[in-house]
Structure 1
Amino acid sequence: MSVDRILLTNDDGIETVGFRALYDALTPAYDVVAVAPAADQSAVGRSISQDVVVHDHDLGYAVEGTPADCVVAGLGELVPNADAVVSGCNKGANLGEYVLGRSGTVSAAVEAAFFEVPAIATSMYVPGGDDWWELEPDPEHFAHAAAVTRYLVDHAIDAGVFDHADYLNVNAPMADGESGPLPGERAAIAVTEPSTLYEMDAEWDADTGDITLHDRIWDRMRTGDVPDPEGTDRRAIVEGRVSVSPLSVPHASEHHEALDGLAEAYSAETDPEPVADAGSGAGGD
């Protein structure tokens, strides 16, 4: 299967620097049609709408909806002949098993997989503390993300990668010479699995009654103190490599004797006592 037309989406919004970086990297070789959120839709997961408003845009279409909305509207109507979906480039990494379901960037790729369209979700790791999100990135910062995404679109389908994976979750270092090589230099690819480390916690402020949710892993990544083993996405990105995780949908399901036994026991039980008739006074209004 050759790639001619690409549906490009994201969750940060169609006007962001990372989105334009991928658009500019792909358009010299492909017919790229943007179908992306009109505004920031970060961390919405696979939230879906019933109706969305679509606006014409210089790059394609701006959708007043979520990344999943964009993929469904795009593959279902706006760009039904797309050969691949690319989502990104997200400002901020999407690493670890627990992040995959909440990331709008990754969720767009998951939605495409249900259409049986090869998809790549690309994110850029921004080092720093709790204020990393305040960074106003330059286009050059996305150099490694753009280069590896273009490389994978060029080669992965013909190489048979998507015979074994439904989508690729790509995380690239920022091209700043510190967290990753400078633009023009090559950042090596590591084929990875999502990390299983989970360090979310909550802190209750008794004075205000507020509970603050905090992901402690970002503090550890800032200092390089991550216990993730070799072969995991987080280890690769901390070491300045591009993490590429080949992933599949739907969620895996495994039958086992414990649950099968419960199901059989429930089915074998006699019917429970019928619920009292509402008119007997046992029910409510």
Structure 2
Amino acid sequence: MRPLILVTNDDGIKAGGLESLVKVLKTIGDVVIVAPNESYSGMSHAITVKTPLYAKLVKEKEGLKLYKVNGTPVDCVKLAINVLLERKPDLLVSGINHGTNSSISLHYSGTVGAAREGALNQVPAIGFSLLNYSYGADFSEAARIAEHVVRSVLNDKLPAGTFLNVNIPDAHPVKGAKIARQSKGKWIEEFVEREDPRGRKYYWLTGHFENMEPEAKDTDEYYLAKGYAAIVPCHLDATNFNLLPYLKEQNYEL
């Protein structure tokens, strides 16, 4: 039996990254795409609870189905696993995203949020992102890296409760792929203040990313700058185990 691969993204069903990803995944297994009907970038792990969800089958042929959903990437994963699929997928793949989700950005990412939801459902999951925001980005190298990582995960599996966040530089060719840790960084946020025709103030969120450890040589930001894809293993357990003994010593317990 060919592996069943669930695919989603946060850029919507017409995104070039999704199309490039599906082309390589079809050579590996049967693909079911359940993706948002429009862009839901920056949604992280958001879910829809106040309005109904609709899933429309857009395309169906041997080895491929495409659904569009009026919800977030995580909505798409939940709906696929609980309603649309006949069996649990062997792998969930999210992306390929237009733009980076390295360092602290993974916490805001709808692409990574979908992969996290896969892990919550005991499905091996990977999020892919390309460091290029343009509509006409060339995803050929990103798709090549994605195929390599997907085949590796299907062959070797992932421990329960884990998923991969893979970022790929906008390089031709990409030098290779390296295992890395999430770099420490932050977004320097700025709000541009403007006024609408009725005299009401409104704000646009802007800003720029700052790498807080530019000298570190084991991070995703380091390898991306060197022309390598960065594979960061992530897990669901948010416990800070190093802090447990300290809190117990400081009389936090009753």
Alignment of 1:232-243 (within 5 A): 232-243=219-230
Quote the residue 1:156 is aligned against. 153
8 A Cα contact 1:7 1:85, kept in partner: yes
CA contact 1:144–1:187 (8 Å) conserved in 2: no
Contact 1:3 1:83 in 2 (8 A): no
The range that moved more, 255-264 or 113-122, is: 255-264
Give the one of 251, 272, 285 matched to 2:238: 251
C-alpha contact 1:202 1:211 (8 A) present in aligned 2: no
Distance in structure 2 (CA, Å) of the matches to 1:212 and 1:67: 23
Distance 1:74 1:260 in 2: 46
Indicate yes or no: 2:37 matched with 1:53. no
**Distance in 1 separating the partners of 2:11 and 2:23:** 17
Alignment-mate amino acid for residue 21 of structure 1: S
- Which letter does structure 2 place at the counterpart of 1:201? E
SS at match of 2:20: helix
Q: CA deviation at 1:259?
A: 5.9
Partner deviation per Cα, 1:215-254 (whole Å, 9 max, x = no partner): 3327x8xxxx981511111111122111111111131243
Deviation readout 1:108-165 (Å, 9 max, x if unpaired):
0000000010001000002xxxxxx4x2224xx11121111111221223234x1277
| Aligned partner of residue 245 in structure 1, secondary structure | strand
What runs of 5+ residues in structure 2 fail to find an aligned partner?
Answer: 60-64
Gaps of 5+ in 1: 127-132, 175-179, 268-285
Q: Report the alpha carbon displacement of residue 29 of structure 1 after superposing the two structures with TM.
A: 2.2
Preserved contact between residue 55 and residue 63 of structure 1 (Cα < 8 Å): yes
Q: What is the distance in 1 between the residues matched to 2:217 and 2:55?
A: 44
Shift, 1:257, TM fit: 3.7
What's the offset of the Cα at 1:57? 1.4
Cα shift at 1:86: 0.2
2:183 matches 1:195: yes
Change (3 A) 1:120 1:3: farther
Aligned counterpart, 2:70: 64
- TM-score by length of structure 1 reads 0.76
Q: Which amino acid aligns with 2:57?
A: D
Contact 1:3/1:84, CA 8 A, preserved across alignment: no
Structure 1 residue 9: deviation in Å? 0.2
Q: Secondary structure of 2:181's match?
A: coil
TM-score relative to the length of structure 2: 0.84
Judged with a 3 Å threshold, the aligned counterparts in structure 2 of structure 1 residues 260 and 76 are, in CA distance, closer, same or farther, namely farther
Q: Does residue 181 of structure 1 match 2:172?
A: yes
1:2-34: per-residue Cα shift (whole Å, max 9, x none)? 961000000000111110000011102210000
| Structure 1 match to 2:218 | 231
Of residues 32-41 and 48-57 in structure 1, the stretch that sits farther from structure 2 once superposed is 48-57
Helix, strand or coil at the partner of 1:256: helix
CA distance in structure 1 between the partners assigned to 2:190 and 2:251 by the alignment = 35
Q: Does 1:100 find its partner at 2:100?
A: no
Q: CA deviation at 1:199?
A: 4.0
Contact 1:189 1:241 in 2 (8 A): yes
- Taking the aligned partners of 2:203 and 2:13, their CA distance within structure 1 comes to 32
**SS of residue matched to 1:19:** helix
Verify the 8 A CA contact 2:177 2:230 in the aligned structure 1: yes
**1:124-139 matched pairs, under 5 angstroms:** 124-126=130-132, 133=133, 135-138=134-137
SS at match of 1:156: helix
State the one-letter code of the partner of 1:216.
Answer: H
Q: Which has the larger radius of gyration?
A: 1
- Whole-Å separation in 2 of the counterparts to 1:4 and 1:107: 23
Whole-Å separation in 1 of the counterparts to 2:163 and 2:156: 14
Instruction: Determine the structure 2 residue equivalent to 1:272.
Output: none
Q: Secondary structure at the match of 1:117?
A: coil
Alignment partner, residue 19 of structure 1: 18
1:282 maps to none
- Alpha carbons 2:10, 2:72 under 8 Å: kept: yes
1:36 corresponds to which letter in structure 2? A
